[in-house]
Amino acid sequence: MIITMLLCGLWHGASWNFVLWGGLHGVALAAYQIYATGRPPQVRRGTGSAFHPGTLGARALTLSVVMVGWILFGTQTLTLAFKYLWRMVTWSSDGVALESPYILPLTALMLVAHLIINKDRNLIEELSTYSPPARVLTYASLLLALALLVPSDTVPFAYVRF
């Protein structure tokens, strides 16, 4: 699994960023495989509660690994990625300024939603069973979040450096 993910990193680009990105995901997947196979079958099914401390911890860990991975994936150099991560960890005030006042509240909302939404359900399929006002509110909320987070300048395609 680790070798496969390292190769996926190389496939995305011949840069240490992508190799580290693939390695991070490979190690995380392998660690999860080792952890999951050592658990009894009744525990593997989960508690059914999104608020169980183990469920919240697992989701927070997964989100953290993925978000660190996106930093590695999205920066030009490994030095810049580490600088970016260091600034996040130390809450440094220099660096990229948050121009939109909506970024932090929407990020907090997405974090809370990620932690509490039951991932064993398919919300897209369930949406058609909601009442019309609930569907309109859901779609309007998603559209508003997208509109508020539209970048003010153009962002190059993710594989432009490939």
Instruction: Note the pLDDT tens digit of each residue in 28-50.
Output: 999 988 888 877 665 555 555 66
- Catalytic residue, chosen from 12, 25, 52, 114, is 12
Q: Is 114 tagged catalytic?
A: no
**pLDDT at residue number 155:** 62
**pLDDT at residue number 13:** 82
Residue type, 41: P
Residue at token pair 């939109």: 100
Residue predicted with more confidence, 27 or 110: 27
Residue 16 pLDDT greater than 70, yes or no: yes
Backbone angles phi, psi at 86, to 5 degrees: -60, -40
- Residues recorded for the chain: 162
Could you report how far apart the first and last alpha carbons of the chain are, in Å? 23
SS3 category, 92: coil
DSSP-assigned states of every residue in 20-79: HHHHHHHHHHHHHHHHHHTS-HHHHT--S-TTSHHHHHHHHHHHHHHHHHHHHHHSSSHH
Q: How many whole angstroms separate alpha carbon 72 and alpha carbon 134?
A: 38
What percent of the chain has pLDDT above 70?
Answer: 81
pTM of the predicted model, to two decimals?
0.61
List the domain boundaries for the chain: 2-148
Q: How many whole angstroms separate alpha carbon 96 and alpha carbon 153?
A: 14
**pLDDT at residue number 116:** 75
